[in-house]
């Protein structure tokens, strides 16, 4: 074998050995990490409010929509809700969003929408997240982050209007 082949074979074997050592250290360090929970970033002002939308029942069923993760399977009923009204009960972070309910006549739908009102800079939040992540990583923990916005929405109508509405996701 030529001298160059022997050198290349030695370099290759050393690379494989170092890669194996690195993978072993990585697996050891990773298996030692624990979950440190969830950290809330930014300001929070959690509120729960009702947003009512009046509608006129007709031949077509009223669609109920919104830009959030639906957790309810069907429209709830409650005698306290006035007839011909869809009530959105929303839990949200008042520091980040401002919800409002609308009636869209052309689509025959009631919707809960919102707009961002946060004065916090996204770069500032990202840098805080980075600092917290690295601080916890040094302590052997991995954490997750959340910036609360719309947390929960329930839709309720009067029992007399149960058949006049349906959820659309």
Q: For the chain, give every domain's residue range.
A: 3-32, 39-167
pTM attached to this predicted model: 0.72
User: Cβ neighbours of residue 16 under 8 Å, at least 6 residues apart?
Assistant: none
The pLDDT score that the predictor gives to residue 43 is 87
92-103 pLDDT, tens digit per residue, is 999 999 999 998
35-80 pLDDT, tens digit per residue, is 989 999 888 899 999 999 998 887 777 888 776 666 777 888 999 9
Average pLDDT, the chain: 88
Is residue 137's pLDDT more than 80? yes
Query: Side by side, which strands form the sheet with 62-66?
Result: 97-104, 109-116, 62-66, 165-167
23-37 pLDDT, tens digit per residue, is 999 998 888 899 989
Which comes out higher in pLDDT, residue 67 or 137? 137
Is residue 127's pLDDT more than 90? yes
Is residue 163's pLDDT more than 90? no
């Amino acid at each position: 074998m030529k001298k160059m082949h022997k050198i290349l074979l030695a370099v290759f074997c050393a690379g494989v050995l170092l890669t194996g050592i690195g993978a072993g250290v990585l697996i050891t360090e990773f298996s030692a990490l624990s979950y440190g929970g969830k950290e809330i970033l930014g300001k929070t002002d959690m509120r729960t409010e009702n947003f009512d939308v009046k509608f006129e029942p007709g031949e077509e069923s009223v669609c109920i929509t919104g830009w959030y993760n639906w957790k309810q399977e069907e429209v709830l009923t409650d005698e306290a809700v006035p007839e011909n009204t869809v009530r959105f009960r929303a839990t949200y972070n008042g520091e980040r969003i401002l919800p409002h309910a609308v009636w869209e006549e052309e689509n025959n739908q009631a919707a809960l929408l919102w707009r961002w009102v946060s004065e916090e800079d996204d770069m500032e939040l990202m840098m805080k997240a980075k600092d917290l992540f690295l601080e916890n990583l040094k302590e052997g923990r991995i954490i997750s982050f959340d910036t609360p916005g719309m947390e929960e929405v329930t839709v309720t109508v009067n029992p007399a209007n149960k058949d006049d509405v349906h959820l659309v996701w």
